Every structure is written in C-alpha cells, then in structure tokens.
Amino acid sequence: MSISPEFALIHRHFAGCAPPNFLALGIGDDAALLPWPVADAQRRGNPPPAGQKAALAITTDTLVAGVHFFADGDPAALGWKALAVNLSDLAAMGARPVAFLLALTIPKADEQWLRPFVEGLAQCARAYEVALVGGDTTRGPLAITITALGEVPWGEAVRRSGAQVGDDLWVSGQPGRAGLGLAIRKGQLADSLCGAAEWLAALDRPIPRVALGLALRTVAHAMLDLSDGLTQDACHLVEERPELAVVLKEEWLPLAPLLDGGAPLALARTALLAGGDDYELLFTAPATARAAVLTASKTSATPVHRIGSIEPRSEGEPLMLKTTAGAMTPLTPRGWDPFREES
Amino acid sequence: MSISPEFALIHRHFAGCAPPNFLALGIGDDAALLPWPVADAQRRGNPPPAGQKAALAITTDTLVAGVHFFADGDPAALGWKALAVNLSDLAAMGARPVAFLLALTIPKADEQWLRPFVEGLAQCARAYEVALVGGDTTRGPLAITITALGEVPWGEAVRRSGAQVGDDLWVSGQPGRAGLGLAIRKGQLADSLCGAAEWLAALDRPIPRVALGLALRTVAHAMLDLSDGLTQDACHLVEERPELAVVLKEEWLPLAPLLDGGAPLALARTALLAGGDDYELLFTAPATARAAVLTASKTSATPVHRIGSIEPRSEGEPLMLKTTAGAMTPLTPRGWDPFREES
C-alpha cells in the first residue's frame, strides 16, 4: 500500500469515522492489521481481548497500464508481478500470505492476453501457496488491483515505526536492479550488458521476500518493503519518529554488483538510492541481533546487507549519508512518485 | 463480485492451485468465505476444525469511469456507491460488514473532485459502521476498486446455491428504479416524472440491504444481490442446480410503483426485469418461513415482495414466467454485461 498526499487527504476525511482502537494498525504501513474475528464490542472502540491470537494483515495495490507497466509488455510477467508486489507488502509485516482477490479491468475480452497473464499470476500463487478467493472483471483501461490477505500472530507484526536509536539498518538482496532493468526497457542502457538479464528479471518478476519476512518477525524492530526507492522508503522508517534519523554508510551500500554488471557509476548509484520497484526488505534490528539476522538470512536463503544505522536526528534531517571519507551529509530522499509525469 | 466468462477462465487456470477444502466458499458467490485464522493444516487442504467459530467474508468490485458511471457525475454519489455495492455483496451473504480498502486510480490529483468523493464514501462508511483500513492511490484512468470485509458465524453464510423445490422467491425493495434512473440520465425518460427523484437516488446512492441480510441469515435458503438485473440474477440462483427452475409470477412483480411514478409500461417492465444496479436482495425461503421473512422485513425496516417460487426444472429452462392468464412461458435472462458495448 502506498501513502500519497491523496491518501493522506482521504485519511483525514475519515478521521473520527473509525473507532481508534478497532485497528491494530491502519493506514500508513505496508498492510492493515485487524484482530479477527472482530467482536462487536471491539468495533465500538474497545481494545481486543487479552486472548486475541491472530491478526489479519490485508493490503491492496493497483498497477495501471502506462503508469506502472508497459501495456505491450509480457502479460505473464505482469501476472506474476501484480501478485508479487502485494505479497511483498505482507512480507514486510512479517505476515504469512494466505489468499488474494483479483480485480481486473481489461479493454476487451482477449484470451491471447488473458491466458498468459493468468498463468503468470498462478505461478506466483503456487510459489507462495496463496489461494485466489475471488475477484471482479470489468471492461475499461487495463489495470490490475490485487488485495492480499495474510495472517500474523497478534502483536508480532513488524511495523514501519518500530526503529530504535542504535539499531542497524539492513536491506535484503540487491536494490537497484529493477531501476537498471527499467533503464534498459527505456533504451537508456544497453541490453547486452552482462547484468541485463538479472536486472530485467528483477523488474519483471520481483521476488517477494516472504520467507525472510517471517524469519525476521521476532528479530526486526521495524520493516518495510522497497517500492518507491531506497532513500524515500528509508525516510518512511522515521516518518512518525521525528527524534530519529536514518544514516546510510556509503561504503556499505551494495553498489559493486551493479557496477560488475556493467552499469555506469552515476546510473548505478541513482538506481540503488532512488530506483523503485525493488521489493527488497529494508529493516532495522538491534546490534545484539546481528547473529539472529544472519541466521534469518540463511534459513530463508536470502542475502542481506548491513547498510547503516538509526541515530538521533539532528538539524531536522531524517536521512544522512556517511561518506567513505567519513563526512556526514544530508541526503535528499528521491524516489518514484506515481503522480509525477513520466519524463 | 461478478462472474464473467473472463473470470471463469481465470478460475479454470487456478483449478488445482488452491486446496479445495481451504475455502468455505470461493469464486462464484457474492463474497468469498474463509475460515479465520487459517491454521497451517487447513491451508494444506484439511477442513476447518470443529470449533471454528467465524468466517471472513470478502468481496471486491471495480467501478470504471465511462463504463459503470459517468466521469462527469457527482463525485459524492460515486463515493457512496463505490462502497455501497460492496457492502451489498456482503449483505447478500448475511455477513456483517466490518472494514474496507480503497484502491483509487485518478488522472490527476484534483482536490475539487477528491474532497466530495471522499465525503460520499465516508457518509456510507459511517452509515454502515465500516472502517477504512487501507488502500492505494495511483495515477491513471479514473477507476475505483473497493475490497470489503465482513464477518459471519461459521456455517451460517447464505449462499447462492441453497434453494430448494417449493421455496418462495422474494425480492427486497423496488427493483427497476435504478434502470429508470439510468434512462433519465441518458435522456430516454423525462426528469419531470413524479418518480424521477426516487429513481435517480436509487441509481446514485443505492442502499445496501445490510440489516435485512443479517435478519435473513437463519431464514433464507439462498440469497444474492441484484446487480445485473432480476432475470439474469435469478438464473444465478439455479446455475449450480440444474434440477431447479425459478418461476416468476407476473401478477406478483412490483410493477405498479414504477407505473405510478410515470414510467411507460414497456420501459418499466424492462427496468424491472433486466435493469441492473438495483442492489436489492433476491432470496428464497421455505413457505413455512413466510412469517419469519415478514418479521425480518419489519425488524430491518426493509419492504419485501414475494414474486415467485423455486420449482423442478422442465425442458431445460432455468427461468419461467407464470403469466397473469396462468400460462407458463420461458423467460430469456437479460441483463447488463460489462463487456457489451454501450449503445
């Protein structure tokens, strides 16, 4: 789920509509959390009973042709990605994906397109053992909205806002690949580079880090998935925590693999720091949990990199870069804005 | 949720993906039903444990500008309707609506449009005590996808397929009004007719029959909500029951109120039988439950009409009309097809 200025407006209008204690967590995280079943008393504003065992994590994301994907792109990849990005939101809560609904808007009933789209979707559903439980098909400009449901033990979901001073900052896998894949698709980068196939795969068939998210559930203090770009998403970790800043350590950023793949330095750096669509997990954990993080990485077969730390905020800067030379400089969050006109 | 040929294709592709016992009820009804929490054993195909107390009912519907609504229409009414049609799906299961997610695609960030839209949405949310728990906003052609969640005691949800021979067929409120409202909007009917305001209100701000649905939970054998039109939706009641037919009794159809409002006979009849967007509940109940149905009607302050019965199917006709003269004639289901080009 994404928090745009528009959604903030929507949220403001709804303030006072929903009893504040009804939700474990509402708008503003990767997924909403609800106690379930919801007793009538809870609906009216009382906190969940002490014995509450399960939470329902639920998230929704829309992909629009021409905005989030190329309308003439591979429908199988699109089917995979539409589900994967929602599972990534659940992974970022430490929730186990269970089921999803598909609302599909297509210009016409075109089985040549629909068949591979559904096959890609089904591949992703099989890979992560989630069931298609319902949906809607309508005629209109091509767009895909998926709502995914997961479950998580009550009180154990990992939120965006849980970071603490002194926490390590970690990221999974290799952020920046999807951004370089997009650069290839746009003709800004040659598809003959040795990293090209990997970058395009990262763009087209992102891997939701479900197993890592589950393994980090009792380890991470805060977690989210990278959809807007590393710097912008890093700021989301401290959005509700004005006393905290995220410090990225330049020499720890996993830039070398992108350069090894043949990306020019400037583009690789931009893709790493501001490229969207990575769906890696960005999380914080106490320094005492380093071994536990590495164990989670190993059991989930997902690489992780320690790239910075959480520090007290000074001079109002939510995000700082500690350069290789040791200087601290503010970093302007940059990322992908779905309402910005594409250049 | 709607079952189009496209969704049937999607469903076929997914056959075998989801363990069959995992869902209480999947694609093909107004909402999906899941046991919740979902124990791991259940995910792998075992039926829910004997002590299962609650089901999660979940449904999603998309409204597309130019297909489901006029792009230049009243945004407040649109906000109301987008949520109301999803609550109607939950009502048709006998589920209590609890929460919803909003995935909104808009061409640009236009507060003049967004503010009344959200106000209409919030009005509906307040009226039915449902909480907005999350969502997504994206740029693109105007479309609204809402996913609504409800709860229902395990085993008590009312399905489409539960009709029995000899059941009475009932409908709530006044089907046909939305169709006449659409005729006014299209300039086919004068807006000076005395029924005009009521018909436009039915089109713009449909009333989901939540209280009636809850009151009928232990009374109705089968239930759905009217979205495609009475004749088409009536056929859905016997889609999985080839031994049953729906018989509409002409003299019982509530045509008079539409005529009293000034609608010409032919148009009133078409609107009643084939007009979509009514969101009334169509349900069956045993003849012995007539008093219980009327009590449910009274406690929910929702009028109901007995309009026919469920009979054994003969000669393959799922839908018959018993004319005022006593003749039985097959009735061709007609309704609104979201993939049909608008005339």
pLDDT tens for residues B152-168?
887 889 999 999 999 99
The whole-angstrom distance between A118's CA and the closest CA on chain B is: 6
The pLDDT value given to residue B279: 97
Taking only the tens place, the pLDDT of each residue in B210-249 is: 999 999 999 999 999 999 999 999 999 999 899 999 999 9
pLDDT classification of B332: cutoffs 50, 70, 90: confident
The pLDDT value given to residue A224: 96
Cβ distance of B38 and A102 shorter than 8 Å? no
Rounded Cα–Cα distance for residues B91 and A338 (Å) = 35
pLDDT classification of B198: cutoffs 50, 70, 90: very high
Q: Which residue has the tokens 């993939």?
A: B339
In terms of C-beta density within 10 A (0-12 exposed, 13-18 middle, 19 or more buried), how is residue A19 classed? middle
Considering only residues B29 and A263, tell me which one the structure prediction assigns the higher pLDDT. Answer: A263
The pLDDT value given to residue B131: 84
pLDDT classification of B49: cutoffs 50, 70, 90: low
Residues of A within 8 A of B137 (CB-CB) are 2, 4, 6-7, 10, 338
The pLDDT value given to residue A50: 65
Rounded Cα–Cα distance for residues A320 and B84 (Å) = 46
The whole-angstrom distance between A326's CA and the closest CA on chain B is: 39
Interface pTM, i.e. ipTM:
0.80
Residues of A within 8 A of B36 (CB-CB) are 36-37, 54, 56, 151
pTM of the model: 0.85
Residues of B within 8 A of A126 (CB-CB) are 17
Residues of B within 8 A of A60 (CB-CB) are 101-103, 134-136, 145, 147
Cβ distance of A103 and B13 shorter than 8 Å? no
Count of CB atoms situated within 10 Å of the CB of B227: 26
The pLDDT value given to residue B212: 98
pLDDT classification of A19: cutoffs 50, 70, 90: very low
pLDDT classification of A263: cutoffs 50, 70, 90: very high
| pLDDT, mean over chain B | 87
Considering only residues A47 and A124, tell me which one the structure prediction assigns the higher pLDDT. Answer: A124
Taking only the tens place, the pLDDT of each residue in A159-198 is: 999 999 999 999 999 999 999 999 999 999 999 999 999 9
Cβ distance of A60 and B139 shorter than 8 Å? no
Nearest partner of B236 among B166, B336, B333, B330, judged by Cα: B333
The pLDDT value given to residue A342: 39
Residues of B within 8 A of A18 (CB-CB) are 125, 131-133
Tokens of A68: 């989030």
Mean predicted confidence (pLDDT) in A201-228: 97
Domains of chain B and any CATH numbers: 5-153 (3.30.1330.10), 168-330 (3.90.650.10)
pLDDT classification of B286: cutoffs 50, 70, 90: very high
Mean predicted confidence (pLDDT) in A237-249: 95
Q: How far is CA A15 from CA A8, A218, A340, B70, B123, in A?
A: 10, 31, 27, 29, 12
Nearest partner of B206 among B140, B115, B275, judged by Cα: B275
Residue A321 has pLDDT above 70, yes or no: yes
Nearest to A102 among B4, B10, B38 (CB): B10
The whole-angstrom distance between A108's CA and the closest CA on chain B is: 7
Rounded Cα–Cα distance for residues A285 and A233 (Å) = 17
The pLDDT value given to residue B36: 72
Nearest to B36 among A37, A115, A139 (CB): A37
pLDDT classification of A333: cutoffs 50, 70, 90: confident
Q: Classify residue A220 by its DSSP letter.
A: -
Using an 8 Å Cβ cutoff, are B185 and B95 in contact? no
Cβ distance of B133 and A36 shorter than 8 Å? no
CA closest to A152 among chain B residues: B37
The whole-angstrom distance between A184's CA and the closest CA on chain B is: 23
What is the length of chain A? 343
pLDDT classification of B31: cutoffs 50, 70, 90: confident
Q: How far is CA B123 from CA A12, A210, B41, B118, in A?
A: 14, 37, 41, 8
The pLDDT value given to residue B337: 47
Residue B301 has pLDDT above 70, yes or no: yes
Nearest partner of A248 among A327, A170, A171, A322, judged by Cα: A322
The pLDDT value given to residue B40: 60
Using an 8 Å Cβ cutoff, are B204 and B295 in contact? no
Residue A39 has pLDDT above 90, yes or no: no
Cβ distance of A17 and B125 shorter than 8 Å? yes
The pLDDT value given to residue A162: 95
The pLDDT value given to residue A29: 67
CB-based contacts of A223, cutoff 8 Å, min separation 6 = A92, A93, A94, A158, A159, A160, A213, A216, A281, A282, A283, A284
Residue B9 has pLDDT above 90, yes or no: no
The whole-angstrom distance between A285's CA and the closest CA on chain B is: 26
CA closest to B17 among chain A residues: A126
The pLDDT value given to residue B153: 86
Using an 8 Å Cβ cutoff, are B142 and B65 in contact? yes
Using an 8 Å Cβ cutoff, are A27 and A3 in contact? yes
The pLDDT value given to residue A48: 63
Sheet strands side by side (includes B54-64): B32-35, B54-64, B143-153, B96-106, B131-139
The answer to which of A66-70, A245-249, B264-268 has the lowest mean pLDDT is A66-70
Q: How far is CA B331 from CA A8, B228, B318, in A?
A: 50, 16, 9
Mean predicted confidence (pLDDT) in A250-271: 96
Taking only the tens place, the pLDDT of each residue in B115-146 is: 899 999 999 999 998 888 888 888 899 999 99
- Give the mutation candidate from B64, B137, B159 for the A interface (greatest A CB count, under 10 A): B137
Mean predicted confidence (pLDDT) in B79-101: 94
A with B: how many residue pairs have Cβ under 8 Å apart? 272
Considering only residues B300 and B152, tell me which one the structure prediction assigns the higher pLDDT. Answer: B300
What percent of chain A has pLDDT above 70? Answer: 84
Nearest partner of A341 among B63, B245, B254, B108, judged by Cα: B108
Mean predicted confidence (pLDDT) in B314-324: 91
